[in-house]
Structures are given as structure tokens and as C-alpha cells.
């Protein structure tokens, strides 16, 4: 087996009719997601086997799809039971063979997407009234236990063998890659000394000790397992029904995205990606029709397309270092759609879900390991929800036109409707510790359009440039950016994007960037005699014991 594998492009769309690895069933207000991994159907055909219910990126693409569809297509669901389809094993975690042969960048992007999927489960519990419950019918190790940690409740079968564990440090020389360490301390509030014991004990804890130290919420013997899990699901569903009484009515089906290949990249209805060497231009178009309650409405469809474009750029186009964001359309049309979504949120669960989906996609843009420049040019529609794209960007340049019509619009949604992973909104993050500047932007937006020079004065853009300087200044900025070290830029950008207070989610992503980028390249893990490389072989790993 080759040490590194030149993987084919990844498709991030799926549908329950095409699931290979998950069994989704719905019984009234309780859904069950059973992990049913097919060993011989990995993402990379013929390269490895998905033994012991281990997962790869293809498994998580399906899970991500299921989480999203449950929110939109099954508003009646109040509890989601995540369990295993095989006896005595829930999930062995991320597939080690896949990790061992994957290029470094793929490993990190795999961990990032997996984290985003698990954050999506937590978001569904918090904002959609769909509580995720882990019913561990067998051992859950590594990423399998991290999947359980993303659930609101964890139940483990007490059969004398099943255990929960995070064995990455003792067995692989790496760290849990999907937030396990942070969720132990920040989410479940487990003592750090017991977390230390747990994370260095390869076999983990069986039911008694796992419950004693809060690594699980409860356990049931095999004879009571089905009834115990059913009772907990029933209670969760009843609790969520009381907390979210407005989730009523038929679901809204999510159709496949219409994506076409173009000479320079690919295109959807509202988004187009053009790639030129190490620079990608992402065109995002505003609404061309009035809001409608359905999957085709701009506020949902356009952001679904944007999400797919970002994921494809992230995983399939590693050489792209700079993404130029351009928008096209009517500011008034954007504001009309924003107003409709916000006005309907309290009374209609569908528009609430549209809003949360937009927020999720914007957080994916925050998390891009690429430089993002927003170019605000004539005919753009950077206003409200679309202005969040520019506020997320590392830099923004606005063209000063002769008639002053090239403008942006700040609206109330920019004042907190779309929180970042930290919980702050992007204006707060932009003007950290300066609430007067935030208020000045919101007040200026209340008065109408903000032209290029006013946007510059308010600090909404990096630079406002006239027709003499605009093209040259932007060109020079892009050329300079692509000449710099991508490693240094990724570290710099992630540090600068998330100033201020941290949350469990920002810690997960920040530590992933720092720890995994470093550890996944160290000889102790991935060298010829590293723990990850030799996993499953008779030879023992050889460590360099010097600490740095």
C-alpha cells in the first residue's frame, strides 16, 4: 500500500436512497440513525477496508446529509438515536488505514469536516428541537466516542465488554481529531486528571467507571437495553416537543444541487467558481425571484450552493490559496429576502431552519484554510446576509465609482443574527472592544446605502480605491498573497479571524489547526516507524523522546 494516495475529487452531496453506511428510520417523533458500515465500500475503492464500523469521509458525508435532511424534511422528529447496526461494536472511529495513506492536507480537512458535522448535530439539538442521543450498543473508541460526545446524552450497554475510549495517544501517537479532548473538559465538564487517565488508557472505561466519572450518562444491561434506550428517547422527544412547540407541518424536501462543469470551474444557479492557477473567484448572485416557502427559495438554495462550493474548494483544490468573493444583483432584493426570513422565524420552523443553515454556511467560510478577499465592485449586492461574506473575509476592497452607486448596506441582521463559532457577530469581531464603531455602522445602515468612501471611513472595508488604483492595487495584493507561505498564512489567518472570547467550538477548530497540523507531520506519528504508520503491524513504533 502506498504511503500517500492521490485521491480523486470528493462529492459532498448525498441522499438517503444512496446511503451505503447509515440506516435511517423514523417512527413518529423518534428517528434512528444506525451506523451500518459496509467494509468493502470505502470512499477510495479498493484502497482499504472499513473494519469494525470504522468510518472515512464518505461515511461522514452521509451523516452530514442525514442531519441536514432531518432538520428540513422531518420537523416532526424530536429525538435522534445514533446507534450501531452490528453486535458488540458501536464504532471503532476513523479508519486508520485511510488516515495512514492520506496526504497530510486530506487528514486535516477530513478532521475539519467531521468536526463541522458533529457541531451540526449539536446545533440541531440546540436550535431545531431534535435531541441527539448516543445509544452505544458496543465499544465506542476514538472517533466513535467523539461522535457520541457530540450527542446530548450518551448511554452505554453494560455487557461486561463494551467500553468507551480515546486511544489515539497511546496507540497512534496522535490526538483525537474531532473535538474529543475539548468536549470532555468544556462540554461534559470532566475533571482534567480523570480525562488524563482516560485518554492514556487505551482500553478505556467500561460502563461502571464510565458512568462514575461522567463519560456516559447512564448504562443498561443487555436484557434491558432496548427498553432503556426507548424510554430515554421518549423522554427526550417529549422534552423537545415542550421546548419547541412550533415545529409542526410537513417537511420540505431538499433536491440535489444543479451543478455544471465549465471551462474554468463549475457553476450553479446562484454561484459560480472560476479557477485560475492558485486563485479562485467565487461569484455569488442575489435573488432573482420573490421569497417562497420551499427549497428553491434564494435564501436556502443559494447558501446550499455556496456551502458545496466552499467544501469543494477546501478539499478538491488544495493549490488554490486565494478566494476572491464577488457578488452580483440587487441590494433591495437581498434585503427583501432577509426581511422575510427574519419576520417568519418565530412562527414558521422552516424559515428558522433557513436562517440556521445560512449561519452554518457562513461559519464554514470563517473556517476556510485559504485567504479570502471580498471585491466590492459595481453591480454588487453586499448587504445584510450577503454583507456577512465581506465581513468574514480577510480583506475587502471597494471600488469608488463616479456616481457613488457602488455601495454596501448594513442591516440589523449584521448586528447578531449570524453568530460566529465564538458566539460573537462579525461586526463585533471586526471592531473588538469598540462598540461605538459597531453602532456607527448599524446607524449608517439604517439611513440607507453606504458608499465606498463612507464604508472606508467607517472601517467596513480594508481600502476604497478609485479607477486609477483599483485594478493595480487588487492585482498586487493577490500576487503578494499567493507568493507567501501557505502554512504561515493559515496560522496567521486563523489567529486573526477569531479574536476575543472563545467557545467550545472555536477551541476545537483552533486546537485542530495547531495540534493536528503539527502532530500529523511528526515522525513519532507518521514517520517510517511512527505509531500511525505501523498500526496493525507486528513492529512497535519507535519514538523520539525529546520534548519540544
Active site residues: 146, 168
Q: H or E stretch including 353?
A: helix 349-366
Rounded Cα–Cα distance for residues 241 and 77 (Å): 9
Look at phi and psi of residue 405 and say left if phi exceeds 0, alpha if psi is from -120 to 50, else beta.
Answer: alpha
Rounded Cα–Cα distance for residues 387 and 411 (Å): 9
Q: H or E stretch including 122?
A: helix 104-127
For 424-504, where are the E strands, in sequence order? 450-451, 463-465
Q: For residue 166, what is its C-alpha cell?
A: 480515546
Q: For residue 500, what is its C-alpha cell?
A: 476575543
Q: For residue 508, what is its C-alpha cell?
A: 476545537
Angle between helices 57-73 and 349-366 (to 10 degrees): 150
The pair phi, psi for residue 172, each rounded to 5°, is: -120, -10
- Strand ordering across the sheet containing 138-141: 88-91, 138-141, 163-165, 205-206
Rounded Cα–Cα distance for residues 241 and 369 (Å): 39
Q: For residue 288, what is its C-alpha cell?
A: 432573482
Which of 292, 287, 261 lies closest to 274 in space, CA to CA?
261
Amino acid at each position: 500500500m502506498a504511503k500517500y494516495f492521490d485521491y480523486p475529487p470528493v462529492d459532498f452531496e448525498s441522499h438517503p436512497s444512496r446511503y451505503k453506511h447509515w440506516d435511517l428510520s423514523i417512527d413518529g417523533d423518534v428517528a434512528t440513525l444506525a451506523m451500518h458500515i459496509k467494509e468493502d465500500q470505502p470512499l477510495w475503492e479498493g484502497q482499504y477496508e472499513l473494519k469494525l464500523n470504522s468510518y472515512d469521509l464518505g461515511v461522514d458525508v452521509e451523516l452530514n446529509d442525514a442531519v441536514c435532511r432531518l432538520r428540513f424534511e422531518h420537523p416532526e422528529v424530536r429525538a435522534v438515536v445514533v446507534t450501531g447496526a452490528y453486535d458488540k461494536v458501536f464504532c471503532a472511529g476513523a479508519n486508520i488505514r485511510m488516515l495512514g495513506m492520506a496526504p497530510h492536507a486530506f487528514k486535516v480537512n477530513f478532521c475539519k469536516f467531521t468536526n463541522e458535522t458533529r457541531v451540526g448535530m449539536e446545533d440541531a439539538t440546540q436550535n431545531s428541537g431534535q435531541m441527539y442521543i448516543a445509544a452505544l450498543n458496543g465499544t465506542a473508541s476514538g472517533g466513535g466516542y467523539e461522535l457520541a460526545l457530540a450527542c446530548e446524552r450518551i448511554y452505554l450497554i453494560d455487557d461486561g465488554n463494551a467500553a468507551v475510549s480515546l486511544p489515539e495517544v497511546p496507540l497512534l501517537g496522535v490526538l483525537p481529531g474531532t473535538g474529543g479532548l475539548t468536549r470532555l473538559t468544556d462540554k461534559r465538564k470532566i475533571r482534567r486528571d480523570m480525562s488524563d487517565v482516560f485518554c492514556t488508557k487505551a482500553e478505556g472505561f467500561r460502563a461502571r467507571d464510565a458512568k462514575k466519572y461522567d463519560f456516559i450518562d447512564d448504562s443498561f444491561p443487555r436484557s434491558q437495553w432496548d427498553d432503556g434506550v426507548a424510554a430515554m428517547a421518549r423522554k427526550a422527544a417529549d422534552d423537545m416537543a415542550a421546548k419547541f412547540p412550533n415545529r409542526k407541518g410537513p417537511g420540505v424536501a431538499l433536491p440535489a444541487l444543479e451543478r455544471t462543469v465549465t471551462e474554468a470551474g463549475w457553476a450553479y444557479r446562484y454561484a459560480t467558481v472560476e479557477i485560475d492557477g492558485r486563485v479562485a473567484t467565487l461569484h455569488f448572485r442575489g435573488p432573482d425571484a420573490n421569497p417562497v416557502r420551499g427549497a428553491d427559495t434564494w435564501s436556502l438554495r443559494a447558501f446550499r450552493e455556496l456551502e458545496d462550493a466552499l467544501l469543494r474548494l477546501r478539499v478538491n483544490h488544495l493549490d488554490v490559496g486565494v478566494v476572491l468573493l464577488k457578488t452580483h444583483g440587487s441590494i433591495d432584493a437581498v434585503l427583501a429576502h432577509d426581511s422575510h426570513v427574519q419576520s417568519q422565524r418565530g412562527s414558521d420552523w422552516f424559515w428558522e431552519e433557513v436562517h440556521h443553515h445560512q449561519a452554518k454556511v457562513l461559519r464554514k467560510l470563517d473556517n476556510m484554510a485559504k485567504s479570502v478577499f471580498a471585491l466590492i465592485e459595481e453591480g454588487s449586492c453586499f448587504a445584510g446576509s450577503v454583507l456577512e461574506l465581506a465581513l468574514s473575509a480577510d480583506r475587502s476592497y471597494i471600488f469608488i465609482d463616479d456616481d457613488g452607486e457602488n455601495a454596501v448596506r448594513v442591516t440589523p441582521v449584521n448586528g447578531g443574527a449570524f453568530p460566529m463559532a465564538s458566539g460573537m457577530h462579525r461586526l463585533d469581531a471586526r471592531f473588538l472592544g469598540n462598540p461605538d464603531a459597531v453602532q456607527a455602522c448599524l446607524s449608517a445602515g439604517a439611513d440607507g446605502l453606504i458608499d465606498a468612501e463612507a464604508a472606508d471611513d467607517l472601517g467596513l472595508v480594508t481600502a476604497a480605491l478609485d479607477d486609477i488604483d483599483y485594478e493595480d492595487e487588487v492585482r498586487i495584493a493577490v500576487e503578494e498573497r499567493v507568493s507567501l507561505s501557505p502554512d504561515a498564512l493559515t496560522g496567521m489567518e486563523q489567529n486573526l479571524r477569531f479574536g476575543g472570547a472563545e467557545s467550545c467550538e472555536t477551541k476545537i477548530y483552533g486546537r485542530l489547526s495547531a495540534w493536528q497540523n503539527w502532530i500529523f507531520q511528526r515522525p513519532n506519528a507518521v514517520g517510517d516507524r511512527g505509531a500511525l504508520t505501523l498500526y496493525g503491524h507486528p513492529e512497535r513504533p519507535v519514538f523520539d523522546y525529546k520534548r519540544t
